[in-house]
């Protein structure tokens, strides 16, 4: 079985809630910055990653969850929101500059998420900050075949 599945993706504009760019007063520094301490307490340190997500569309394909690398249940990260479940998956992103970055797919479980739902072709990626990346840029996303299936 092939360990990594490669799929072409396009960087898309997101809600701006994860990074805090939306201006939502409930999440002034963004949801990721608020969530990081809760994930760290449970063994996942996200400090090496930008506090936001890169929205990558794999349209016309979709993804199917198999076996996450990490799953955290009933995370009460905000006084304004109900507790949520989150999973993370290994990924790599190959930019059109030739640079390859390791990252994580950030997956707030839709059944526990109160708002800001993603299209079924969008994967939210956490990586270190990528300078110069723009909406519409193409990339190659690599996911672990044991963790996620592309359909």
Give pTM, 2 decimals: 0.92
Query: What is the average pLDDT score of the chain?
Result: 90
pLDDT, mean of residues 78-92? 93
Show the domain range for 32. Answer: 4-150
The residues that bridge with 75 in the sheet, in sequence order, are 84
Tokens 């809600």, located at residue = 15
pLDDT at 96: 84
Upstream peptide bond of 129 is cis (omega within 30 degrees of 0) = no
Distances (CA, A) of 151 to 64, 92, 110, 118: 7, 18, 19, 17
Q: Residue 42 sits in a domain of what CATH number?
A: 2.40.30.30
Q: For the chain, how many structural domains are there in total?
A: 1
Please name the helix (run of DSSP H) or strand (run of DSSP E) that holds residue 31, with its range, or none.
Answer: helix 31-41
Residue 34 φ/ψ, nearest 5 degrees? -70, -30
CA gap 14, 115 in Å, rounded: 13
Contact 93, 125 (CB under 8 A): yes
The pLDDT value given to residue 114: 63
Average of per-residue pLDDT across 20-40: 80
pLDDT at 7 exceeding the cut of 80: yes
Q: Is the confidence at residue 74, as pLDDT, over 90?
A: yes
Distances (CA, A) of 40 to 61, 88, 91: 32, 13, 19
Question: What's the pLDDT at 18?
Answer: 76
Task: Supply the pLDDT for residue 38.
Answer: 96
pLDDT digits (tens, 9 = 90+) for 105-133: 999 998 887 665 678 999 999 999 999 89
Instruction: Tell me the C-alpha distance between 25 and 10, whole Å.
Output: 29
Percent helix, strand, coil in the chain, to 5, is 5, 40, 55
Cβ atoms of 116 and 15 closer than 8 Å: yes
In tens, the pLDDT along 38-63 reads 999 999 999 999 999 999 999 999 99
- Lowest average pLDDT, out of 14-23, 65-74, 76-85, 116-125, goes to 14-23
Chain segment 88-100, per-residue pLDDT in tens: 999 999 998 888 9
């Amino acid at each position: 079985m092939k360990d990594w599945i490669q799929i072409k993706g396009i960087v898309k504009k997101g809600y701006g809630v994860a990074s805090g760019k939306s201006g939502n007063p409930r999440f002034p520094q963004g949801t990721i910055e608020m969530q990081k301490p809760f994930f760290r307490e449970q063994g996942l340190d996200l400090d090496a990653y930008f506090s936001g997500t890169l929205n990558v569309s794999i349209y016309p394909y979709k993804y199917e969850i198999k076996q996450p690398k990490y799953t955290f249940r009933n995370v009460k990260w905000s006084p304004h929101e109900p507790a949520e479940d989150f999973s993370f998956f290994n990924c790599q992103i190959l930019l059109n500059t030739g640079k390859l970055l390791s990252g994580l797919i950030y997956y707030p479980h839709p059944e526990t998420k109160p708002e800001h739902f993603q299209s079924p072709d969008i994967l939210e990626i956490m990586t270190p900050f990528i300078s110069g990346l723009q909406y519409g840029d193409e990339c190659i996303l690599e996911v672990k075949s044991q963790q996620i299936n592309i359909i």
